[in-house]
Amino acid sequence: MLHNEITVYRFEDKTFEVSCIDADNAPIDFSSGFDNIGIFVYNADRSTLAKYSRKITAGWKSIDTSNQATGKLSFIIDSDTLKLAPLGKKFIEVIIRKTSAIVSDSKYDSITSQYLFTLKQSISSITVIP
């Protein structure tokens, strides 16, 4: 499957909305039954560009869960993050952990991943608009 390329330029702030669906293509209701959700945006060399958590935790950015009951999770990649990021393709990985997990070392219950966007440099992006 080929994804259409999504371009994001350096120094942009972008909001992403991820619609999570299950194997039956039904939206996943995150409003109950889930201990935490983690979103990772990573570079082609697998280094992490930004990471997000539904729980407010030091070192993690927040996930907007306003529409989590319909499986929609939103997060922002800000210009401070993108201005130093390597150019090229970025990927997203989402991990979820259910509250019913009974195995102590269960870091997550399910995980999925895919291409997210391509970061590009523009000629004018370092210019301050008067």
Partner 1 sequence: MSTTNTTVIAITLKFEYALPSTVGVPFSGIIDDPDQNTTTLIDSL
If binding is defined by CB under 8 A, does position 12 make contact with partner 1? yes
The secondary structure element, H or E, covering residue 82 is helix 79-82
Parallel, antiparallel, or unpaired for β 110-120 and 48-53?
unpaired
Residues 6+ apart with CB under 8 A from 103: none
Rounded to whole angstroms, how far apart are CA atoms 116 and 98?
25
Amino acid at 83: K
Q: At its nearest, how many Å lie between partner 1 and the CB of residue 56?
A: 19
Site track 61-90 with partner 1 (rule: CB under 8 A), x = hit: -------------x-x-xxx-------xx-
> DSSP 3-state assignment of 70?
helix
- DSSP, res 68: G
Q: Pick from 20, 41, 63, 119: which binds partner 1 (CB under 8 A)?
A: 20
Position 118 contacts partner 1 (CB under 8 A): no
Binding of partner 1 by 123 (CB under 8 A)? no
Residue from 31, 48, 57, 110 binding partner 1 (CB under 8 A)? 110
Chain positions contacting partner 1, by CB under 8 A: 1, 6, 8, 11-25, 28, 44-46, 74, 76, 78-80, 88-89, 91-94, 96, 98, 100-103, 105-117
